[in-house]
């Protein structure tokens, strides 16, 4: 027999006799409800609960951050989709593209961005490559300038991913703190591109493309990384004997190379004050390439040239890098001279003597 009586709808109402027993049951039910609710809250929020104990959570900020965890994750996914769309738009049928990074200083009118695009337009067999270039802007002014050029693909690096909100729009002098942060942010981006399954040539904007570099890479399917150097010593397979230069390289997408970029970027934590190129050379000497199975070849400066070691035969030169140069103004001045000289050579069989890199030589004395 059930103690109670039916209400108008026919459901059972229990009598609370005595009242103390009823109150105790109600109190127990309330405790049970609170406990279950707390467990559910922990399950739903999961790892997001760390925000609740943050010292920064004062003045109502805690509640706002707590409920904004999931929208931030959704936004991160959206930016990932935007990167995929940008990569897919620039890549060729083999999922290969050309990547370069710029900030406001690089994008100034008459600066490195304009010179880089000019080199692609006037180079031998390079015009069609413009459609496969993805220019990654680190700030809004650079993105606006890039987008205004027409005929080039531009991608704005999401603010949440841009070097902890540090302003890197201005010129970052060689080995300054801003310069080092820019280099590390770039490595993180390139690692993300590999994880999307795209191979690429990375090129700094102070690298002029005089000819299509892809045929001159002579890459075999077994090679993962083809990388430039400041001074070639005659044996391309001897990467241990060369100082690798990260301003121009080709990398094939694979689990090996993605793991290498992850390890490379993670090494910054123990490498304060070191630029990413120095860390890669350190990793090389410590056997990282061999351990990860990454197969590396060094590019000959006879074709992939630079100011540190000029090619003796300009007719072979594919790219020219304004390395061994400290300031952007000096790079622009000397690269303009290079493009002018290369323009005279195009279509002729004559020999060319490179102009002296006077501005870059003088940049170290300032």
Look at residues 244, 237, 219 and name the one whose alpha carbon lies nearest to residue 296: 237
Examine residue 327 and state whether it is found in any structural domain, yes or no.
Answer: no
Asked if residue 6 belongs to a domain, the reply is no
pLDDT at 347: 59
62 domain-assigned: no
- Closest alpha carbon to 97 in 240, 251, 277, 245: 251
**Percent of the chain whose pLDDT exceeds 70:** 70
172 C-beta neighbours (distance < 10 Å), count: 19
Tell me the three-class secondary structure of 27-85, residue by residue.
Answer: HHHHHHHHHHHHHHHHHHHHHHHHHHHCCCCCCCHHHHHHHCHHHHHHHHHHHHHHHHH
Tokens of 297: 């070849």
Half-sphere exposure of 246 (CA within 13 A, CB side): 17
* Beta strands at 96-102 and 133-137: parallel, antiparallel or unpaired: parallel
Give percent of the chain above pLDDT 90.
57
User: Helix, strand or coil for residue 103?
Assistant: coil
Indicate if the pLDDT at residue 9 is higher than 70: no
* Least confident range of 10-14, 83-87, 246-250: 10-14
Q: Is residue 58's pLDDT more than 80?
A: no
Q: What is the pLDDT of residues 230-286, one digit of tens each?
A: 999 999 999 999 999 999 999 999 999 999 999 999 998 886 768 889 999 999 999
**pLDDT-derived band at 179, boundaries 50, 70, 90:** low
Q: Return the bridge partners of 136, or none.
A: 101, 155
pLDDT tens figures, 302-338: 999 999 998 888 888 999 999 999 899 999 999 999 9
H or E stretch covering 280: helix 276-285
pLDDT for the residue 293: 97
* Domain carrying residue 114: 79-299
Report pLDDT for 357: 93
pLDDT of residue 284: 96
Q: Which two tokens stand for residue 199?
A: 């191979």
Residue 326 lies in a domain: no
Q: How many CB atoms lie within 10 A of CB 318?
A: 25
More confident site: 360 or 79: 360
How confident is the model over 28-55, as pLDDT tens digits?
454 444 444 443 333 333 322 112 222 3
pLDDT digits (tens, 9 = 90+) for 123-176: 999 999 999 999 999 889 999 999 999 889 999 988 644 444 455 444 444 444
In a domain, residue 36? The reply is: no
Domain membership of residue 96 (yes or no) is yes
Q: Is the residue at 366 inside a domain?
A: no
What's 160's domain CATH number?
A: 3.90.550.10
pLDDT score recorded for residue 346: 67
Rounded mean pLDDT, 60-85: 47
Give pLDDT, residue 31. Answer: 47
Q: Is residue 31 part of a domain?
A: no
Counted domains in the chain: 1
* 212 C-beta neighbours (distance < 10 Å), count: 17
The pLDDT of residue 268: 85
């Amino acid at each position: 027999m059930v103690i109670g009586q039916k209400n108008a709808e026919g459901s059972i109402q229990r009598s609370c006799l005595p009242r103390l027993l009823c109150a105790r049951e109600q109190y127990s039910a309330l405790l049970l409800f609170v406990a279950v609710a707390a467990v559910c809250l922990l399950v739903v929020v999961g790892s997001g609960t760390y925000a609740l104990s943050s010292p920064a959570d004062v003045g109502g900020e805690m509640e706002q951050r707590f409920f904004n965890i999931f929208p931030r994750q959704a936004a991160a996914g959206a930016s990932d989709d935007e990167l995929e769309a940008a990569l897919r738009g620039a890549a060729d049928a083999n999922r290969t593209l050309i990547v370069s990074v710029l900030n406001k200083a690089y994008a100034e009118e008459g600066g490195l961005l304009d010179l880089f695009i000019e080199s692609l337009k006037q180079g031998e067999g390079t015009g069609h490559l413009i459609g496969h270039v993805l220019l990654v802007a680190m700030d809004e002014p650079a993105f606006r300038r890039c987008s205004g050029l027409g005929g080039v693909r531009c991608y704005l690096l999401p603010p949440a991913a841009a070097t902890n909100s540090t302003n890197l729009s201005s010129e970052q002098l060689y080995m300054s703190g801003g310069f080092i942060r820019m280099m590390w942010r770039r490595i993180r981006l390139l690692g993300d591109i590999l994880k999307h399954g795209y191979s690429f040539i990375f090129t700094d904007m102070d690298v002029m493309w005089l000819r299509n570099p892809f045929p001159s890479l002579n890459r075999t399917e077994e090679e993962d990384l083809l990388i430039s150097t400041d001074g070639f010593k005659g044996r391309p397979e001897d990467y241990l004997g060369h100082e690798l230069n990260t301003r121009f390289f080709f990398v094939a997408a694979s689990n090996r190379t993605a793991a290498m970029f992850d390890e490379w970027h993670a090494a910054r934590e123990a490498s304060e004050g070191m630029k990413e190129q120095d860390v890669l050379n350190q990793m090389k000497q410590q056997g990282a390439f061999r351990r990860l199975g990454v197969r590396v070849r060094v590019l000959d400066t006879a074709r992939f040239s630079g100011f540190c070691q000029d090619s003796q035969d300009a007719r072979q030169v594919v790219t020219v890098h304004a390395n061994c140069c400290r300031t952007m103004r000096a790079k622009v001045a000397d690269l303009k001279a290079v493009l002018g000289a290369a323009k005279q050579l195009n279509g002729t069989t004559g020999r060319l003597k490179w102009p002296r890199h006077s501005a870059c030589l003088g940049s170290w004395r300032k």
